[in-house]
A = this chain, B = another copy of it.
């Protein structure tokens, strides 16, 4: 590491200096700064004055050294490309996390490893105890990170239900319920041949949305039918491809539930090209309520997710795990909301 005369920057005041100004010992200043009750009121006041006057701000490194806490938590985003670049999921989530952390004077360290070597470096960094807690986002089934960091004993919270059963706390959005509500809405509109374009089978969001779709059909006493199920990877292209496959085998389809808005948009383009009218011939429902949903024509009915809330809740759980010695696993499931638009208008009852 090159050291470039960092002394040139104005040094902040130290505890020692505050103590001198206030006419007390370093220990007393420390007590005041950290809110210990064992300080008399007049001493407290004079220390506070000195702190104010000198613009004293505690040195985090020195504090860390003795407390063995870093005052920071890591957010790890291990998304190859897909979702990261296609919808505003992560900014919203990060904003929620940031908001949830800001009350606690915990810094948010963002890690976005690219490739296996980088992931390895990230794992090493995290295991080294440089952070007090970890938020894991967008986990895929085979991610080695949860094992690594739980072996290192660092508290962590997962965003999205982990596919492999685990003792980690997590916050998830009710993917199953969201998918159900979408399909129930299609059923209520008089649709009976409802296809789905699912997400990746190695992500809980993909798996659970498919499960919700099947549940809703089962509840309506409609048989499960593999020929109505197709899968994509949340991207528009994969949605188009899936829709083409569906149309080839099931030209009688009268509704499609896509597990992402982008896939829904891809499907809509294919349907249109095939001469199907939306929603008259085929109703379409998406997932995410992303900007795309209000951009496509007809506008897309979609399942809206409380993403900021999810981030906020993840931060809350992590803070609790870091501060408390309470090792209880918590699972928080947040509800979704169906936003009805033109793409799924019900059939006119003749």
A-to-B contact residues, CB < 8 Å: 1-10, 12, 34, 57, 59-62, 64-65, 67-70, 72, 75, 84-88, 90-92, 94-95, 98-99, 102, 105, 107-112, 114, 118, 121, 124, 128-130, 132, 152-154, 236, 262, 265, 269, 272, 291-292, 294-297, 322-325
Find chain B residues with CB under 8 A from A111 CB.
98, 108
Q: How far is the CA of A324 from the CA of B105 in the complex (A)?
A: 31
**Partner of A110 from B98, B128, B265 at Cβ < 8 Å:** B98
Q: How far is the CA of A8 from the CA of B287 in the complex (A)?
A: 43
- Which residue of chain B is the closest to A90 with respect to CB atoms? B91
- Which residue of chain B is the closest to A70 with respect to CB atoms? B61
Q: How far is the CA of A110 from the CA of B65 in the complex (A)?
A: 22
**Partner of A291 from B61, B118, B262, B294 at Cβ < 8 Å:** B262
Copies in the complex: 2
Find chain B residues with CB under 8 A from A108 CB.
109-111
Find chain B residues with CB under 8 A from A98 CB.
110-112, 114
Pick 21 A–B contacts, CB within 8 A, sort by A.
Answer: A1-B69, A6-B68, A9-B129, A60-B61, A60-B70, A60-B130, A61-B61, A62-B65, A75-B110, A85-B88, A85-B91, A87-B291, A102-B121, A107-B109, A108-B111, A109-B109, A262-B291, A272-B297, A291-B292, A295-B296, A297-B297
Contacts A12-B129, A61-B61, A128-B12: A84 and B90 contacting too (C-beta < 8 A)? no
Q: How far is the CA of A70 from the CA of B62 in the complex (A)?
A: 11
The 10 closest A-B pairs by CB, nearest first: A61-B64, A57-B128, A98-B112, A6-B68, A61-B65, A9-B153, A110-B110, A265-B295, A85-B88, A61-B61
Instruction: Supply 16 further A-B pairs (C-beta < 8 A) apart from A87-B88, A99-B114, A109-B109.
Output: A1-B105, A4-B325, A6-B68, A6-B132, A10-B153, A12-B128, A61-B65, A61-B70, A65-B65, A75-B110, A88-B88, A95-B114, A98-B114, A102-B118, A262-B295, A296-B297
**Partner of A8 from B2, B114, B153 at Cβ < 8 Å:** B153
- Which residue of chain B is the closest to A261 with respect to CB atoms? B295
Contacts A6-B69, A64-B61: A236 and B95 contacting too (C-beta < 8 A)? no
Find chain B residues with CB under 8 A from A292 CB.
291-292, 295
